[in-house]
Amino acid sequence: MLKFLFFTLLLLRCFPSDDSQISQYIDKIENIFKLSEKAESHNTIQVKVFNELNIQDTPSSPTLAKKQIAKTLAIEIKRFTEKGVEDGYGLIGIVDYFKENCDTVMVNFDKVLVITNEPPQTSTTTKEYYDAGSIFLKNKKNDSAYTYFKKGYELANEFDEAYLIALGNYHLGDYYFQINDIPQAILFMKEALNRFEKQGLNTYILKCYSKLGNIFKSISDFEKGLGYYFKALKLNEELNDEHGIIEVSTRIGAIYLITGDYKVAEYNFKRALKLQEKNKDNKGLVLTYLNLGALYQKQKVYNKALSYFHSGLKKIEEFSTTDVDIIDLKDSQAILLGNIGSTLREDKNYKESLKFLFKALAIKKALKRNRSTAHTCNDIAETYIRMNDYAKARVFALEGARLAKNESVNKELWAYSLLSKCDYALQNYKSSADNFQIYNTLKDSIFTIQKAIGFNELQIQYDTEKRDYQIKEQERDIVFLGTQNKLKTEILWFGGIGLLAVFGLVLALKSRQKARKDIKQQELFTQGLIEAQENERTRVSKDLHDSVGQQLTFIKKKAQNLDQKELSALANAALEEVRSISRDLYPATLKQLGLTASIEQLLFDLDGESDMFFSVELEDINTNFNEADTLNFYRLIQESVNNALKHADAKTLIVNILKREKVVEVLIKDNGRGFQTNKGILQNSLGLKTMAERVRILKGKLSIQSTKELGTTILVKIPI
């Protein structure tokens, strides 16, 4: 019976859709039915006729099919025919499958199992559980999906079927991805990949690669996402699977579109376009038109963007309203309408923009796509802001935030940014500040995009050193506070005992001396740690420059000789990234140009990379420091300015380095958000502690003054 169910589903999906052929076929069946009423075996013939009609009507008219199945079922129950009743419940389940009534699909399938009294079969029953779970998952019935996936997975493990265990891991990984449990999704999907690779099942290996790429893309880990997509692309090319090449090229292009590598994105999209045109893949062309339109929209080539978007809509209109694909294309239609709306907004055509955005919103709401609906709500709010209608903008931004919650951090971030702007314009300053705070909290939670391919280990090494340094700083604080507490306890205890006052005083003095000694040792240790860190940075910088840099140069030249432009561009980008990392790890210009010119070059580079206005006054201080102090002074300026760029959110930064009588005076001042300069902040900030330690090594004095919303001033005086 179970084989009958799956065969019937396949037959229904593949049956011809020509209306005239179907009509003629049904007429013949109905004539047979009329003749059967006079025959002795008319019940049997009628059942077969009704079943044939059901197969015809299920895809196009599920309600009519269900009525006919009910007639079949009534005949079979009347005849007490177990096989017929079994078929009846099975067909009702199939109709519910086409209607996507997930709550009743498995109810009727389970009745079939009860009637047939079939024992669990690993190959058949397990697949049925997995298929049922997939139906529920597609319709976001997550709890029911998990129940059936788990049943199938447990049965597969009971029979120790390697293929079905791997398939169970894949389905569970897909389930955890849908409920946004990313660690579990990665765990199960990698286990599925490992098992499929051992069995050499390329189709499922490709599915795992694609799904893992999607998972890592969803958390903005684009490097790992691309890694899995490129593996999928390579395997598709080996198998000469053009459909697979189209799918993966599209996903690779989408990541490069997000990261701003527009030329590489265009190459991948147009590769997909060429194959889709060759294979007449109209549904795929809709998605590629959408992607190319988005690409040109980001580059502000609005006429090309609109042309591709409208081409996508026109392609959707070519589909028949009875075509199965038209349901899936509703999503693409809504996105195309939304993108036309946002493009028109950027082109300052606000009324037409709202017209298309509201069309997109209606479709997305009907499809119950919360994430996509949140995006369109934000787009509408953005358009109303451009029209200075902040009250309406706030309504849609608030709805965008509600829909994006637990669905998309990026869209929720966008919504709260818009809410803050609206509240500020409407003079709701407290609400504006609250929404801006939520925006910053969400912003901090988003993963940083890793663009330097192949240098993760270096980043991990740097982070490890930073954490180790922070741990040592905390240990130093613990030692100091522990010593202070011990001293206070001893003083109080012995102070209360008059006869032992002298003894207590001596003990306290010794304890204080020990505390000072401990602090001195900690200072020497910290100084040594900084020196070791600088030595290691220098070593890594030279290794990058001499080894990795030369290899990348060789790859770049070889690619140019072979006329491989894309590889040459990627090698050149990686080479520039290596040089940038190398310069940050150790400024070679200190020895080549001297301290003054190195600082001037540093500030010039940072000014070019930032929107902040720099005001610089720098006097010649090349002869005032030895080699070690020169590096420490350079790092002090580098860290101070980087802190301002990272945290201040200022518009102006003043950097003055002046020579006074026997003193080098440094003033770094911004007009940013500022902070409270209490003792707790200064003790818990690793950046401020590092600055203070460098100033102490230079035997100087450090003063930090900061006021919220008024900015921060750092003043350093170093004797020379």
**Whether the Cβ atoms of residue 660 and residue 612 lie closer than 8 Å to each other:** no
Q: Are 377 and 356 within one domain?
A: no
Q: Structure tokens of 567?
A: 């590889």
What's the whole-model pTM score?
A: 0.47
**Whether the Cβ atoms of residue 236 and residue 248 lie closer than 8 Å to each other:** yes
Q: Are 663 and 601 within one domain?
A: yes
**Is residue 356 assigned to a domain?**
yes
Strands of 591-651, DSSP E: 613-618
Q: Are 552 and 635 within one domain?
A: no
Residue-level pLDDT at 45: 40
Q: Which residues contact 337 (CB under 8 A, 6 or more apart)?
A: 313, 356, 357, 359, 360, 363
Q: What is the pLDDT of residues 4-29, one digit of tens each?
A: 444 344 334 334 444 444 444 444 44
- 467-474: long-range pairs with CB below 8 Å, 24+: 469/529, 469/533, 469/686, 469/690, 470/686, 472/525, 472/526, 472/529, 473/526, 473/686, 473/689
Taking alpha carbons only, the member of 653, 641, 572 closest to residue 612 is 653
Q: Alpha-carbon torsion 171, 172, 175, 176, what sign?
A: negative
Q: Among 223-227, 399-403, 555-559, 696-700, whose mean pLDDT is lowest? A: 555-559
Give the residue, 444 or 374, on which the prediction is more confident: 374
**Whether the Cβ atoms of residue 136 and residue 151 lie closer than 8 Å to each other:** no
Q: Are 345 and 391 within one domain?
A: no
Residue 482 confidence (pLDDT) above 70: no
Domain boundary among 272, 297, 324: 272
Taking alpha carbons only, the member of 718, 540, 525, 507 closest to residue 625 is 718
**Is residue 72 assigned to a domain?**
no
Q: Which residues pair with 375 in a beta bridge?
A: none
Domain around 331: 281-368
**Is residue 488 assigned to a domain?**
yes
Computed over every residue of the chain, the mean pLDDT equals 75
**Whether the Cβ atoms of residue 322 and residue 314 lie closer than 8 Å to each other:** no
**Is residue 142 assigned to a domain?**
no
Q: Which residues pair with 701 in a beta bridge?
A: 717
* Confidence grade of residue 174 (pLDDT, cut at 50, 70, 90): very high
Identify residue 616 by its one-letter amino acid code.
V
Q: Which parts of 446-564 fold into alpha helices (H)? A: 456-495, 501-543, 549-561
Q: Which parts of 61-181 fold into alpha helices (H)? A: 62-79, 82-99, 102-116, 125-138, 142-159, 162-178
Residue 230 confidence (pLDDT) above 90: yes
Q: Are 247 and 351 within one domain?
A: no
Q: Among 156-170, 422-436, 516-530, 613-627, whose mean pLDDT is lowest? A: 516-530
Q: Among 204-218, 314-328, 478-492, 600-614, whose mean pLDDT is lowest? A: 478-492
* Confidence grade of residue 539 (pLDDT, cut at 50, 70, 90): low
Q: Which residues pair with 234 in a beta bridge?
A: none
Taking alpha carbons only, the member of 331, 300, 324, 349 closest to residue 312 is 331
Residue 560 confidence (pLDDT) above 80: no
> Tokens 């950046």 identify what position?
687
Residue-level pLDDT at 667: 93
**Is residue 187 assigned to a domain?**
no
Q: What is the pLDDT of residues 324-337, one digit of tens each?
A: 455 567 888 888 89
Backbone angles phi, psi at 718, to 5 degrees: -120, 125
- CATH number where 622 lies: 3.30.565.10
- Give the CA distances from residue 329 to residues 56, 97, 205, 334, 359, in Å, rounded to whole numbers and listed in that order: 25, 20, 27, 9, 15
> Tokens 């609250």 identify what position?
434
CA atoms within 13 A on the CB side of 16: 8
Q: Cα separation of 420 and 438, whole Å?
A: 9
Domain boundary among 368, 400, 430: 368
* Confidence grade of residue 184 (pLDDT, cut at 50, 70, 90): very high
Residue 330 neighbours by CB distance under 10 Å: 15
Domain boundary among 368, 402, 435: 368
Q: Are 522 and 561 within one domain?
A: yes
**Whether the Cβ atoms of residue 218 and residue 251 lie closer than 8 Å to each other:** no
Pairing of strands 613-618, 652-660: parallel
**Total tally of structural domains belonging to the chain:** 5
- CATH number where 230 lies: 1.25.40.10
Share of the chain above pLDDT 70, in %: 64
Give the residue, 641 or 467, on which the prediction is more confident: 641
Q: Which residues contact 519 (CB under 8 A, 6 or more apart)?
A: 476, 480
Q: Cα separation of 151 and 158, whole Å?
A: 11
Residue 76 confidence (pLDDT) above 80: no
Map residue 653 onto helix, strand or coil.
strand
Q: Are 497 and 601 within one domain?
A: no
Average pLDDT of the residues in 481-487: 62
Which strand (E) or helix (H) includes residue 184? helix 182-199
The alpha carbons of the chain give a radius of gyration, in whole angstroms, of 35
Query: DSSP state, 448?
Result: P
Average pLDDT of the residues in 645-673: 90
Q: Cα separation of 538 and 585, whole Å?
A: 6
Q: Are 361 and 377 within one domain?
A: no
Q: Cα separation of 708 and 694, whole Å?
A: 26
Taking alpha carbons only, the member of 704, 698, 703 closest to residue 720 is 698
Residue 8 neighbours by CB distance under 10 Å: 20
**Whether the Cβ atoms of residue 600 and residue 618 lie closer than 8 Å to each other:** yes
Q: Are 597 and 650 within one domain?
A: yes
Residue 693 neighbours by CB distance under 10 Å: 20
Which strand (E) or helix (H) includes residue 656? strand 652-660
Map residue 702 onto helix, strand or coil.
strand
Q: Among 379-383, 457-461, 571-575, whose mean pLDDT is lowest? A: 457-461
Taking alpha carbons only, the member of 95, 82, 20 closest to residue 51 is 95
Backbone angles phi, psi at 656, to 5 degrees: -120, 130
Tell how far CA 487 is from the center of its chain: 52
Burial of residue 343, with CB atoms counted within 10 A of its CB: 0-12 exposed, 13-18 middle, 19 or more buried: buried
Q: Cα separation of 433 and 415, whole Å?
A: 14
Residue-level pLDDT at 269: 92
Give the residue, 229 or 107, on which the prediction is more confident: 229
Residue-level pLDDT at 524: 63
* Confidence grade of residue 449 (pLDDT, cut at 50, 70, 90): very low
Q: Are 332 and 253 within one domain?
A: no
**Is residue 188 assigned to a domain?**
no
**Is residue 569 assigned to a domain?**
yes
Which string of DSSP letters, residue by residue, matches 466-489?
Answer: HHHHHHHHHHHHHHHHHHHHHHHH
Which strand (E) or helix (H) includes residue 705? strand 701-707
Q: What is the pLDDT of residues 88-129, one digit of tens each?
A: 444 444 445 444 454 454 444 444 444 444 444 556 678 878
Tell how far CA 17 is from the center of its chain: 41
Q: Are 472 and 555 within one domain?
A: yes
Residue-level pLDDT at 577: 73
Residue 84 confidence (pLDDT) above 50: no
- CB-based burial, 213-249: b 16+ in 10 Å, e otherwise: bbbbbebbbbbbbbbbbebbbebbeeeebbebbbbbb
**Is residue 333 assigned to a domain?**
yes
**Whether the Cβ atoms of residue 411 and residue 374 lie closer than 8 Å to each other:** yes
Residue 619 neighbours by CB distance under 10 Å: 12
Q: Are 251 and 288 within one domain?
A: no
